Every structure is written in structure tokens, then in C-alpha cells.
């Protein structure tokens, strides 16, 4: 008993290496190395013997040392802007699930929409020798990041927001088409005065939506009234603030197209605050189809932007790019889908 205890103590000080395993099993280090890497060149009995030694000694493979020597990597990074936004958690789920199945370990970075943090996280990940990075850029992206991405040797996949000139693979959703379907749906329901609420008006994803919004109105012969286009932070709080501003006007809209589901929840709350019933007095359409949209009351009509699929696709693109660094850049734009529910 004493001896077992002592032995364990020793291990805790000096971790056992492949060398130790080889000696214990009476084989060479090279053989042991082949075995941890599942080489088929090793005779089954030798293999068994060595695995037994590993078990006995409590050997743990040092993947970091292996990666260093073989100049490979088994980690990848995913950088999102906000972890509390279920759009991003769904996306993260898609990325994580796919990459882990392939055998990568994922490093998570969260920028909280800060350019500085994004820069810093990118550096840290690359210093950690990730094999590649999936980047969902912050909304206020500068030229600096584009220049940086062009220089980076590590494969980078952009998701959600594009960075013009960055020369990376890209996956996103057709926000313009999505906004257009949302507004066309409202027009079809008989609405003529339709507000567009929320979102950061400098971001590319907002600009795409306003294009779709404008196009739908235009095609229906409805003039755009800029007083009912109000931007905000892309959050629930932002939606509440914006809708308060909207409801303080005289000529109220009969329908609101919201930048995102998150904004829509804030908008609904603001509408209730004003004594109106969302979905009845004012129709609401969101964007993203986050899981909450379906279970909200009233359930939210929205445009699905397929967060999880976006993540999956980004993961696949990254894997392809890692395996095949020289291939031509891909640009995948998913088609959104209108989910009609009770709020419109």
C-alpha cells in the first residue's frame, strides 16, 4: 500500500513520457510513437503490450508536443461577438458540433463587439497555433482588420458579416432577400405603413436589410417614410428604446419589421408598455428565428437565418481550407425562409 502511494506521488511530480512507456514495455520510442498514432504497421501483440504499459503507468499523450514537432494543429478558433445572443449560441453549436466530430478541439473567443478585443483574441489564437479560425466580425469593422487578415497565414473563414477585400471564404444569409420577404408578407397582409426598427445602421447586415425593405415597399408602390425607420443597438433594450421613440409619433404604423428577433422582443415589450397588444394592434416580424421566437407569446413571425446551419457550413469550409489551402475562395449565401406565426 505504501509503495503504491509513493509511486503515485512520483508520477504527480514527473509526468510519464513516451520514453518511459517504451522502456516499460521493452520497445523503442519510435514504436511507442507509432502506436499512439494508431499506425497499422505495428503487430497486434506489440501494440497490446504497449497499450497495457500506458495504462499501468498512467500515460497521457502530449498532443501539444506532438503538434509542435510535426508542425500540425488539432485546434481551431471560433470568434463570436456575443454569447448571450442565442443566434450566436446556435451558430456556435453548429460550428462546435461539426469541428469536434472531425477531431478538432475548439478555442472560443468572444469580442463583445469590440474591435480591440477582436484583434487581441485573434492574436492569442494564432499564438496558440490554431489550425484555422472562424471569425464573426464585430459590427464596426475597420480596414485594419482587413489588412491584417490578408497577411495572416492561418486559414480564416468569415461568417455572418463580410469584410470587403479580406479575401477569405465567407458564409452568410441573404439578408436583403430575407428583409424583402418579411416586408412583402406584411404588405400581403394589408399593411401599408410599415416601420423598420432596430439595428446598427452602419453595419453591413443593417444595410442589406434596408435594401430589401425598400425594394419591397417600392415594388408595392409605397413611399418610404424615414421617420419610421429607427436604428438602435441590436439588442432587446435597443428595440424597446426605438419603439418608444416610434410610438411617441402621431401617425403610427400598423406593422413593424424588426432588425432581429431580439429587437422584436424589446419592441413587443414596448408596445405592451404603451397599452397596445403586439400581433393585434401592431403586427410584428422579426429576423433570425432564434429558438425563443417559437415559444414566445404571441409566437413571433420571423425570417430564419439558419444560425446552426451557418455554423455548420463555416466549419465545413474551414476544414476544407485547412486540408486544401490553395483552393479558390468560396462564398456561400444561404437562402432565408419566412416563418409565419401569430405576431403578424
Partner DNA sequence: CTGAAAGCGCTTACAG
Among 175, 265, 287, 306, binds its own copies (CB under 8 A): 265
CA–CA distance, 17 with 121 (Å, rounded to integer): 32
Instruction: Confirm if 293 and 266 have CB atoms less than 8 A apart.
Output: no
75-114: contacts with its own copies (CB under 8 A): 75, 83-84, 86, 89-90, 92-93, 96-97, 100, 105-108, 110
* Residue range at the interface with its own copies (CB under 8 A); choices 46-54, 202-210, 249-257, 291-299: 291-299
Residue 104 CA, distance from chain mean position = 16
Task: Assess 62 for contact with its own copies (CB under 8 A).
Answer: yes
- Tell which positions 21-50 bind DNA, by CB under 7 A: 26-31, 33, 36-37, 41-43, 45-47
Considering beta carbons, is residue 105 or 227 the nearer one to its own copies?
Answer: 105
Name the residue among 195, 220, 189, 223 with its Cα closest to residue 209: 195
Q: Which span (20-28, 39-47, 119-127, 218-226) binds its own copies, by CB under 8 A? A: 119-127
Chain-centre distance of CA 213, in angstroms?
Answer: 25
Q: Does 268 bind its own copies (CB under 8 A)?
A: yes
DSSP secondary structure, 207-235, as one string = HHHHHHHHHHHHHTTPPP-GGGEE---SS
- Whichever of 35 and 290 has its CB closer to DNA, that residue is 35
Nearest-5° Cα angle at 102, 96 to 108: 30
For residues 132 and 126, what is the distance between their CA atoms, to the nearest angstrom?
8
Tell me the three cell numbers of residue 221. Answer: 408602390
Q: Provide the 8-state DSSP code for 197.
A: E
CA dist list (Å): 53 to 10, 56, 106, 306, 313:
17, 5, 30, 48, 42
* Cβ neighbours for 28, distance < 8 A, ≥ 6 positions apart: 22
Q: Which is nearer to its own copies, 43 or 295 (CB)?
A: 295
- Cβ 122 to DNA shortest distance, Å: 17
Least distance (Å) from its own copies to the CB of residue 279? 10
The SS3 assignment for 48 reads helix
Please select the residue that binds its own copies; options are 3, 38, 70, 153, rule is CB under 8 A.
Answer: 153
Q: Cβ of residue 153: shortest distance to its own copies, in angstroms?
A: 6
Q: Applying CB under 7 A, which of residues 3, 12, 38, 70 lies at the interface with DNA?
A: 70
Tell the residue number behind the cell numbers 397588444, with chain if given. Answer: 277
| Least distance in angstroms from the C-beta of 106 to DNA | 21
Distance of closest approach, residue 11 Cβ to DNA, in angstroms: 11
Three-class DSSP category at 309: helix
* 278 bridge partner residues: 282
Residues that bind its own copies (CB under 8 A): 11-12, 15, 58, 60-65, 67-68, 74-75, 83-84, 86, 89-90, 92-93, 96-97, 100, 105-108, 110, 123-129, 151, 153, 236, 265-266, 268-269, 272, 291-292, 295-297
Residues that bind DNA (CB under 7 A): 15, 17-19, 26-31, 33, 36-37, 41-43, 45-47, 59, 61-62, 65-66, 68-71
Amino acid at each position: 500500500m505504501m509503495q503504491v502511494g509513493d509511486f503515485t506521488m512520483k508520477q504527480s511530480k514527473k509526468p510519464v513520457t513516451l520514453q518511459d512507456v517504451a522502456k516499460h514495455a521493452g520497445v523503442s520510442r519510435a514504436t511507442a510513437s507509432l502506436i499512439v498514432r494508431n499506425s497499422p504497421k505495428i503487430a497486434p501483440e506489440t501494440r497490446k503490450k504497449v497499450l497495457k504499459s500506458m495504462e499501468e503507468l498512467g500515460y497521457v499523450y502530449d498532443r501539444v508536443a506532438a503538434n509542435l514537432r510535426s508542425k500540425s494543429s488539432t485546434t481551431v478558433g471560433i470568434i463570436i461577438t456575443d454569447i448571450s445572443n442565442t443566434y450566436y449560441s446556435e451558430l456556435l453549436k453548429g460550428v462546435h458540433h461539426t469541428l469536434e466530430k472531425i477531431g478538432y478541439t475548439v478555442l472560443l473567443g468572444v469580442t463583445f463587439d469590440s474591435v480591440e478585443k477582436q484583434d487581441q483574441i485573434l492574436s492569442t489564437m494564432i499564438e496558440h497555433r490554431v489550425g484555422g479560425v472562424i471569425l464573426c466580425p464585430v459590427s464596426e469593422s475597420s480596414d485594419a482588420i482587413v489588412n491584417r487578415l490578408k497577411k495572416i497565414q492561418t486559414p480564416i473563414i468569415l461568417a455572418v458579416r463580410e469584410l470587403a477585400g479580406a479575401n477569405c471564404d465567407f458564409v452568410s444569409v441573404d439578408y436583403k432577400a430575407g428583409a424583402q420577404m418579411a416586408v412583402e408578407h406584411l404588405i400581403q397582409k394589408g399593411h401599408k405603413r410599415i416601420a423598420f426598427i432596430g439595428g446598427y445602421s452602419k453595419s453591413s447586415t443593417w444595410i442589406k436589410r434596408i435594401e430589401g425593405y425598400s425594394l419591397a415597399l417600392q415594388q408595392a408602390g409605397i413611399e418610404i417614410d424615414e421617420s419610421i425607420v429607427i436604428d438602435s443597438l441590436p439588442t432587446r433594450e435597443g428595440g424597446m428604446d426605438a419603439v418608444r421613440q416610434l410610438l411617441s409619433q402621431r401617425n403610427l404604423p400598423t406593422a413593424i419589421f424588426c432588425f432581429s428577433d431580439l429587437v422584436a422582443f424589446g419592441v413587443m415589450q414596448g408596445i405592451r408598455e404603451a397599452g397596445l397588444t403586439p400581433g393585434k394592434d401592431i403586427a410584428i416580424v422579426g429576423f433570425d428565428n432564434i429558438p425563443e421566437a417559437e415559444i414566445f407569446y404571441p409566437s413571433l413571425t420571423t425570417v430564419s437565418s439558419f444560425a446552426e446551419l451557418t455554423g455548420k457550413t463555416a466549419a465545413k469550409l474551414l476544414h476544407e481550407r485547412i486540408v486544401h489551402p490553395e483552393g479558390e475562395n468560396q462564398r456561400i449565401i444561404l437562402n432565408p425562409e419566412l416563418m409565419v406565426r401569430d405576431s403578424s
